[in-house]
Amino acid sequence: MVTAAAVTGSFITTAGNGNFITVDPDSVGGTTDITMGNGGANGSMSLTLLGVTSGDPRITANTNPGDRFDMRLTQCVFAGATKIEDKGDGNDNLFLMNDQFVKSLQVTLSKSGVNFVFAQNVTTDHGFIKNATVYQSGGGNSGFFVDHHQPP
């Protein structure tokens, strides 16, 4: 857990398999680059960003089939191009609440066919969320579209 940090440069971290990471709150002067492994022995991992301010965040995971990856971004402000990608085949749960993606939001979830997205008060200039099996809007969203992926 990273708590109440102010990073003048970039924040780069590579997590092992099956990790649960929380960053609360954090201000990063440069880019934020978070690489997650897979669900590990328990088949589960989590990333929570609370009140994070950053330039060009990039979040990458590589889940295995059957893994569960929970991502929660709450009250974050990202000034640059935000990229979130699960290159694997696990099940993704993405919760976006009260977030500002100033330049763009680019989310590519796994191709597992079991991906849940909830967004409320999320704004961006432009963007997309790909491979969402279920999308729920809490209202107040603008600037992005959701590409629904049908389960196999």
**DSSP code of residue 64:** P
pLDDT of 150: 60
Its pTM stands at 0.91
Over residues 55-87, the pLDDT tens digits come to 889 999 999 999 999 999 999 999 999 999 999
Over residues 22-63, the pLDDT tens digits come to 888 778 877 889 999 898 888 999 999 999 999 889 999 999
Query: Do residues 43 and 69 lie in contact, with contact meaning Cβ atoms separated by under 8 Å?
Result: no
Is the predicted pLDDT of residue 1 greater than 60, yes or no? no
Q: How is residue 145 written in tokens?
A: 């579209």
Over residues 74-128, the pLDDT tens digits come to 999 999 999 999 999 999 999 999 999 999 999 999 988 799 999 999 999 999 9
pLDDT of 23: 86
Is the predicted pLDDT of residue 13 greater than 60, yes or no? yes
By the 10 Å C-beta count (0-12 exposed, 13-18 middle, 19+ buried), 127 is classed as: buried
Q: What is the DSSP string of 73-133?
A: EES-EE-SEEEEEE-SSSEEEEEEES-EEEEEEEEE--SSS--EEEEES-EEEEEEEEEES
CA distance 67 to 89: 8
Nearest alpha-carbon partner for 38 in 3, 57, 62 = 62
Is the predicted pLDDT of residue 3 greater than 60, yes or no? no
CA distance 149 to 129: 10
Whose structure tokens read 């603008």? 142
